[in-house]
Amino acid sequence: MQDFGSAFGLAFELIVGFDTDLLAIVGLSLRVTFAALLISCLIGLPIGAALAVSSFPGRGALVVTFNTMMGLPPVVVGLLAYMMLSNAGPLGVLKLLYTPGAMVIAQTILVTPIVVALSRQMIEDLNKEYAEQFRSLVVPFPTAMAALLWDARFALATVALAGFGRAIAEVGAVMIVGGNINHVTRVMTTAIALETSKGDLALALALGIILLIIAMAVNAAVQGINAKARRNAYA
């Protein structure tokens, strides 16, 4: 297929050419994903930490639920979010459908279970080490949670990256609630889907390559900062 070769050339041209439409799409992708990730972390990390250090009836079921929800199909999440945000839905008055806000909400639903499930696992591991010492020191529950979150921060950066990967790459949810409206809700993945449906496979692949490069840059940046900070904190 000659599409492969032309895709790389096209990707290169789009990047060097500073295509303004492309920049807007990339910008919106990053904005939506980072906003969703931030909210997911604000919600998910405390829940993950609380699940990690507490024991109550039903905890096991809750853990299984969150682990399962990591595999939520984006299109189902999109559909649920659409039904909530639709004018005919309960949250229609918010007028969020077909706006970036709706995309943030859908991605938050997608990413929060990942943050909860993975952070729960990592904090549980750390808590195995800290629990006895904390009990000895009589550390109150919220303080223990905060301390575990802070001390697990480097591992949790990886959790955030997993969430970032899921959010930036998904198309099913943002397509439905965003509508892929040009200059309003078009992001990288919906643009790729659009170009594919236009049969412009080379352009679609070029956009995919750019998406990959962006994801790689974000991962590398986090990794780099993380490694440096980790060196300064502990081995």
Partner 1 sequence: MHDAAALREVLPRAVPRRAISNVGHHTLSVRNLSFAIDGHKILKNISFDLPGDELTVLMGPNGAGKSVLLRLLHGLIAPSNGTILWNGEPIDRSIRKIQAMVFQKPVLLRRSVLSNLRFVMGLRGLAKSRSELQPILKRLHLEALADRPARLLSGGEQQRLALARALALKPKILFLDEPCANLDPASVQLIEDTIKQEKVQGTKIILVTHDILQARRLAEQLVFLHRGEVAEITPADIFFDAPTSKEARAYLDGRILI
Partner 2 sequence: MLRKTAFSLAFIAAAALHWTIAPASAEERFIVVQSTTSTANSGLLDAILPKFKDKTGIDVRVVAVGTGQAIKNATNGDGDVLFVHAKSAEEKFVADGWGVKRRDVMYNDFVIVGPKGDPAGIKGMDEATEALKKIAEAGAPFASRGDDSGTHKKELSLWKAADVDVAHASGDWYRETGSGMGATLNTAAGMGAYALTDRATWISFKNKSELAILAEGDDRLFNQYGVILVNPEKHAAVKADEGNAFIDWLTGPEGQQAIADYKLEGQQLFFPNADKATN
Look up residue 215 and give its two tokens.
């994801």
Buried b (16+ CB within 10 A) or exposed e, 33-69: bbbbbebbbeebbbbbbbbbbeeeeeeeeebeebbeb
* Residue 89 host element (H or E): none
Site string for partner 2, 119-148 (x = CB under 8 A): -----------------------x------
38 binds partner 2 (CB under 8 A): yes
For residue 101, state whether it binds partner 2 (rule: CB under 8 A): yes
Which of 15, 19, 31, 214 forms a contact with partner 2 (CB under 8 A)?
31
In sequence order, which residues have a C-beta less than 8 Å from that of residue 35 and are 6 or more positions away? 104
Question: In whole angstroms, how close is the CB of 133 to partner 1 at the nearest point?
Answer: 4
Q: Which residues bind partner 1 (CB under 8 A)?
A: 129-130, 132-133, 135-140, 143, 147, 150-151, 232-235
233 binds, among partner 1, partner 2, none (CB under 5 to 8 A by kind): partner 1
Q: Which does 164 bind (CB under 5 to 8 A by kind): partner 1, partner 2, none?
A: none
By C-alpha distance, which of 228, 104, 209 is closest to 157? Answer: 228
CA distances from 48 to 37, 40, 167 (A): 15, 11, 19
Q: What's the CA gap between 121 and 132, in Å, rounded?
A: 18
Q: Using the rule CB under 8 A, which residue among 48, 113, 172, 179 binds partner 2? A: 179
Q: Which is nearer to partner 1, 25 or 52 (CB)?
A: 52
Q: Six-digit token pair at 41?
A: 């972390």
Q: What is the DSSP string of 55-82?
A: --TTHHHHHHHHHHHTT--HHHHHHHHH
> Is residue 23 within the footprint of partner 2 (CB under 8 A)?
no
Tell me, residue by residue from 188 to 227, as one string, x for binding to partner 2 by CB under 8 A and - for no binding: ------x-xxxxxxx-------------------------
Which residue type does 181 have?
Answer: I
By the 8 A CB rule, do 222 and 161 touch? yes
132 binds, among partner 1, partner 2, none (CB under 5 to 8 A by kind): partner 1
- By C-beta, is 64 or 181 nearer to partner 2? 181
Positions in the binding site for partner 2 (CB under 8 A): 31-32, 34-35, 38-39, 42, 86-89, 92, 95-101, 103-104, 142, 179-182, 184-185, 194, 196-202
